[in-house]
Amino acid sequence: MKNLVRELTSIIGPSSYEEPVVDFIKKTLKNKKDLEIKNDPLGNLIVRKKGKGKKIMLDAHMDEIGFIVKHIDKNGFLRFSVVGGLFPHNIIENHVLFVNGVEGVISYEDKNFDWKSIPKIDEMFIDIGATDKKDAEKKVHIGLLGGMKPTFVDLGDRISTKSLDDRIGCAILLKLALDDFESENDIYFVFTTQEEVGLRGAKTSAYSVSPDFAIAVDVTGTGDTPESHIFEVKLGMGPAIKVLDYGMVVRKPVIDFMVDVAENNKIPYQLEILRSGSTDGMMIQTNKEGVLTGVVSIPTRYVHSQAEMCDMNDVENSVKLIKEILKTDLSKIKGF
């Protein structure tokens, strides 16, 4: 599982450039003859494991936060815009890897730098080692996309790297798609695009699949570092079952169902109340006349940075929890 995460997080795939992730997933699943695989016009990858029961959608987004070149100055430095929710304090002097293989480092204008403040994105630039504009234009162009350079660090049970948000969710879905287990349900493993810029892939794929029940798999923050905000989620204490976040309130029957499955199978879990941010679950829940939707969140420190950290025990227990949910009679959800 750890090697799968390592491979997925090594791919540069910012919003609208998820094709390399799609190619990796297709290659990984190529020998699974019981799966139907297709892409939709927005680039979502929809993998179906046919069944006669209820239609269940499992969701994880493929895209990561990134950069796009918007200007090249006379000295060859690149001005950039962000793609998704990049925080300025997380990217100063980080290394960038563009989708064409060119690398660079982010720095900032220091003429008026104040140590008490954080430079704005408009005050930053990317240095690719060019001598002037003409030299830079041989390597990059306006509109070129990039991401944070992969730096996978194996810390034993815990790992740290870029784009665990949400390649860790993609790894969980892949593991479930590769495993052979009994379920009468009609299961759709949906790897979505453009989550980081507005949950767009979830909107179109949920409309297409039109599930009876759905689970989004994504990361969430933690409250277990020194002097952190009060947040009852910790690394290593199990997957977090979402209660609510900035854009979604999970229906109580869904929460109760997921908690019952976890407790009945002795799977550790936490309850998540996130004060900011949301997931594809928000979009799926409001599809058409509404969909019973839950979220399994992987506790992750330093989200939207080059050094996101999670605990592999939480990842393994997320796989177990979702697998047991897929094997459970959905009529146990009150009001289903």
Q: In angstroms, rounded to a whole number, what is the distance separating the alpha carbons of residues 15 and 193?
A: 7
Neighbour tally for 53: CB within 10 Å:
14
Q: Tokens at residue 194, please?
A: 């453009």
Q: In angstroms, rounded to a whole number, what is the distance separating the alpha carbons of residues 58 and 208?
A: 13
Contact yes or no for 65/147 (Cβ under 8 A) = yes
Indicate the SS3 state at residue 282. helix
- Closest among 148, 104, 147, 140 to 15, alpha carbons compared: 147
- Closest among 294, 79, 280, 285 to 196, alpha carbons compared: 280
Per DSSP, 117 falls in state S
Provide the annotated active-site residues.
Answer: 195
- Which residue in this structure is represented by tokens 């928000």? 282
Q: Tokens at residue 325, please?
A: 């949910």
Q: Render 121-163 in DSSP notation, one character per residue.
A: GGGEEEE---SSHHHHHTT--TT-EEEEPP--EEETTEEEETT
H-type helices in 237-311, by residue range? Answer: 252-264, 280-285
